[in-house]
Amino acid sequence: MLYVDGNWVEPGTAAIQPEDRGYNFGDGIYEVVRIYRGKMYQWEGHITRLFRSAREIKMELPWTEEELLHIANQLLEKNGITHEDDAILYLQVSRGYAPRQHDIPGDIRPVIMGFVRRKERPHADMKKGMTARLVPDIRWLRCDIKTLNLLGAVLVKQEAKDAGAQESILHRDGIVTECSASNLFAVKDGALYTHPANNLILHGITRQVVIELAKKNNIKVYEEAFDTEFLKQADELFLTGTTVEVMPIISVDGQAVGSGQVGPMAQKLQALFEEHIYSEVLV
Ligand code: PDD
């Protein structure tokens, strides 16, 4: 069952207004929340970011955090998600529908949509690592807002895929930002490097968790921009994100990263992350 603008509907039966601004302009916001063993992980972080995204696009959400939590819990319940299931929960809010015009209509009501989908954790890729391609970051200058406008992300991901790689690593004039749907870390001499959380990247929740886990374990973290040369000299690279967790990258543009194998830092952070999610959700 999906939740669409206040109604519970079966997949394939939802009606979307042709002039919904999410549909016409990508004018809206979203979140993807991980469900581990039937429980939501980092709900608080996601909902805080959803409200921030709304503020940044001048959209007032007519629901409280509690009401959204209720919708999320009902999505899990109505879709029969149990403690045996790993899944994702998708929530999006479009600005609403009105006769098409670019500026924001005065009397418009946001439209919410949510679904849950069972999704296994990417164990095999986490173990063997993924391949990547460097691609120019063609996205806009407010990547910190989690908007429905994802055409830039779609095109860079496809460019990597067409070149035979699994993921795109993005750079703006040689400065590495993040990936199409995840944040990027480089490892050099035992320390972590990642782009600062400014307007050029999404302030990833997994990124923040990994930074905190690293610091707690005496691993130095530098939130500093680095260039593609530094990237190519890195001992290890890994991505972080709700669905990819801590995902090692073992080659970029066909060249091995470090040894070309999943490195010890990625393995250590994967182990710390594993401990952390189970301590958080299995309470
Ligand atoms: N993507 N950077 C971008 C551009 C993203 O789209 C995402 C998440 C992240 C990682 O953020 P987090 O750790 O909070 O998931 C970084 C989601 C999963 C998606 O669009 O499917």
- Closest by alpha carbon to 28, among 5, 69, 59, 51? 59
pLDDT reported for residue 271: 98
| pLDDT(121) > 70 | yes
146 included as an active-site residue: yes
Would you say 115 and 90 are in contact if contact means Cβ atoms under 8 Å apart? Answer: yes
pLDDT reported for residue 281: 80
Q: What's the CA gap between 145 and 131, in Å, rounded? A: 27
Tell me how far the alpha carbon of residue 151 lies from the centroid of ligand 1, in angstroms: 14
Q: How confident is the model at residue 278 (pLDDT cuts 50, 70, 90)?
A: confident
Q: What is the mean pLDDT of residues 73-88?
A: 97
Atom of ligand 1 nearest to the CA of 242: 15
The DSSP output letter for 37 is: T
181 lines ligand 1 (CB under 6 A): yes
Average pLDDT, the chain: 97
Atom of ligand 1 nearest to the CA of 180: 4
pLDDT tens-digit profile of 239-256? 999 999 999 999 999 999
Instruction: State which amino acid sits at residue 32.
Output: V
Q: What is the mean pLDDT of residues 26-39?
A: 98
How are beta strands 191-194 and 221-223 bridged, if at all? parallel
Q: What's the CA gap between 187 and 102, in Å, rounded? A: 44
Ligand 1 pocket mutation pick from 29, 198, 242 by most atoms within 8 angstroms of CB: 242
The DSSP output letter for 151 is: H
| pLDDT(280) > 90 | no
242 lines ligand 1 (CB under 6 A): yes
pTM above 0.85, yes or no: yes
Domain limits, the chain: 2-120, 124-281
Q: How confident is the model at residue 182 (pLDDT cuts 50, 70, 90)?
A: very high
Tokens 């001992």 appear where? 235
Pick 2-120's CATH classification: 3.40.1190.20, 3.30.470.10, 1.10.10.10, 3.90.230.10. 3.30.470.10
243 lines ligand 1 (CB under 6 A): yes
pLDDT tens-digit profile of 132-166? 999 999 999 999 999 999 999 999 999 999 999 99
89 lines ligand 1 (CB under 6 A): no
Write phi, then psi, for 195 (nearest 5 degrees). -60, 140
Q: What is the mean pLDDT of residues 47-62?
A: 98
Tell me how far the alpha carbon of residue 47 lies from the centroid of ligand 1, in angstroms: 14
**Percent of the chain residues past pLDDT 90, beyond the cut:** 98
CATH number of 124-281: 3.20.10.10
187 lines ligand 1 (CB under 6 A): no
Among 39, 58, 146, 215, the one annotated catalytic = 146
pLDDT reported for residue 180: 98
pLDDT reported for residue 283: 62
Residues 6+ apart with CB under 8 A from 27: 21, 57, 94, 95, 147, 148, 149
Ligand 1 pocket mutation pick from 29, 30, 32, 176 by most atoms within 8 angstroms of CB: 32
- Closest by alpha carbon to 174, among 132, 224, 233, 231? 231
Residues in the chain: 283
Residues 6+ apart with CB under 8 A from 74: 3
| pLDDT(40) > 90 | yes
53 lines ligand 1 (CB under 6 A): no
pLDDT tens-digit profile of 194-219? 999 999 999 999 999 999 999 999 99
